[in-house]
Amino acid sequence: MVKSMGVTSSRSRGTGPSGMLGAVSALDRTILVVEDFVELREAVSGLLRERGYRVEEAPDGAQAVRLASRVSADVIVMDVSLPIMNGIDVTRRIRTLGGPKRPHIIVTSAHADARTRQLAFEAGCDQYIAKPLEFDALAAAISAFFVKRDGR
């Protein structure tokens, strides 16, 4: 078990629901990690890269919107408390962008209250995971999305 910068992980790879990548290469899948806390962003991005995903990073809401409009992300892991524009407003903006595919947005927040959760879903998020972030739970949510989307 690894615990680093608010992320815990058993670092399991390739087996079980959190490590299953399916027949399509994970490198064909892009994840945008939006987190202002640099150590947490790097930890999550690094763990996702270890699983073979292509990862883009944004440290604030404005950069997240710019990246989301240029990069065709399959999944966006979005913190709520961000500089410049909060994650709920970013989620709303991304949902108005359109594009060839609709990204699966997983909102993460230390604000586990019902109101923040409700606002995130009203803005268009698909899932909500409270912090401290359990990487295995995040990886399982991402894997489940791809299994459902790809029909595997």
Q: What mean pLDDT is reported for the chain?
A: 86
**Which one has a higher pLDDT value, 128 or 152?**
128
pLDDT grade, residue 27 (50/70/90)? low
Query: Is pLDDT of 93 > 90?
Result: yes
Mean pLDDT to the nearest integer, 131-152: 92
pLDDT grade, residue 111 (50/70/90)? confident
Contacts by 53-59 with C-beta closer than 8 Å and gap 24+? 53/26, 53/27, 53/29, 53/142, 54/26, 54/27, 54/28, 54/29, 54/30, 55/30, 55/31, 56/30, 56/31, 56/32, 57/32, 57/33, 58/32, 58/33, 58/34, 59/34, 59/35, 59/83
Identify the structural domains of the chain with CATH numbers, from first to last.
27-150 (3.40.50.2300)
pLDDT > 90 fraction of the chain, expressed in percent and rounded: 76
